[in-house]
Amino acid sequence: MTPVTSQPTLRAASPLLSLQGVSKAYHNSTETTRVIEDLDLELHRGEITCLVGPSGCGKSTIISLIAGLMVPDSGRVSFDGHDMGELSDTDRARLRATRIGIVLQAGNLVPFLTAAENVALATRLAGTESPPARVNSLLEQVGLADRANHLPRRLSGGEAQRVALSVAFANTPDLLLADEVVGQLDSTTARLVMDTFEGASREQGLAVLLVTHSQEVAALGSRIVRLIDGRLETGS
């Protein structure tokens, strides 16, 4: 697959998402563990940003902070010019339902709904009703139209991840947050998923933050950022 190249002429003057001086620590009864320290990051429309770093370094924490699933101890997370910290829990949930797609490493699907029903539910949560043809198209996009009527327990781990990707695309998001979505996929299917990211980024101006352990996958993005000791190092 041809690496995705940045297109500076398409970059908006203002980022879609920015983290400014963001810090986050976890506390228990005996100690405090600092995970993110004074971190700055910008995500722009039409770019695929790949976030790499060792296990346990805080990559998933960054995903949760951006999605508004948790709030930083200090600093600011801004989405399209709006301070996420000033939004209520309800408003942040609405933002996730309508403008942000999220695919985590596991637990993405409602277990008692079929693949198609999971996708259809996501469209309803976004405030729209999609005809069966669009639901089928979203599944076909990740090569799973033939699994539309299968429950999650009848899907392999990789298939479930691909259905979760269809769910994330159901609300036509402005920002996609993907945490190790290609980790369980074979090389052919991983290429299909990355092509899907690239197409949406190029054609719809989708901003993508892709967490990955794979340097090969990361090389396909517009840019790579590395999380080391709670801080980011930016590469090309």
Mean pLDDT of 3-13: 47
Contact indicator for 173, 15 with CB cutoff of 8 Å: no
Question: Does the pLDDT value for residue 53 go beyond 90?
Answer: no
> What pairs with residue 177 in β-bridges?
102, 209
Determine, yes or no, domain membership for 212.
yes
Determine, yes or no, domain membership for 119.
yes
Mean pLDDT of 40-58: 90
Residues 173-232: tens digit of each pLDDT: 999 999 888 766 777 877 888 888 888 888 889 999 999 888 888 888 889 999 987 788
Determine, yes or no, domain membership for 45.
yes
Determine, yes or no, domain membership for 9.
no
Determine, yes or no, domain membership for 74.
yes
Domain membership of residue 229 as a residue range: 38-235
Residue 199's closest CA among 141, 134, 132?
141
Determine, yes or no, domain membership for 80.
yes
Residue with tokens 């910290």: 85
Question: Does the pLDDT value for residue 8 go beyond 60?
Answer: no
Residue 1 is predicted with a pLDDT of 45
Mean pLDDT of 89-113: 88
Question: Does the pLDDT value for residue 171 go beyond 50?
Answer: yes
Residue 188 is predicted with a pLDDT of 81
Predicted confidence band of residue 7 (pLDDT cuts 50, 70, 90): very low
Residue 234 is predicted with a pLDDT of 67
Q: What is the 3-state secondary structure (H, E, C) of 29-94?
A: CCCEEEEEEEEEEEECCCCEEEEECCCCCCHHHHHHHHHCCCCCCEEEEEECCEEHHHCCHHHHHH
Predicted confidence band of residue 29 (pLDDT cuts 50, 70, 90): confident
Q: Average model confidence (pLDDT) for the chain?
A: 86
Q: What angle do CA 68, 73, 77 make, to 5 degrees?
A: 40
Residue 13 is predicted with a pLDDT of 64
Mean pLDDT of 40-59: 90
Determine, yes or no, domain membership for 13.
no
Determine, yes or no, domain membership for 91.
yes
Mean pLDDT of 146-152: 94
| CATH number reported for the structural domain that contains residue 61 in this entry | 3.40.50.300
pTM: predicted TM-score of the whole model, two decimal places: 0.85
* Structure-block tokens of residue 208: 């993508």
How many structural domains is the chain composed of? 1
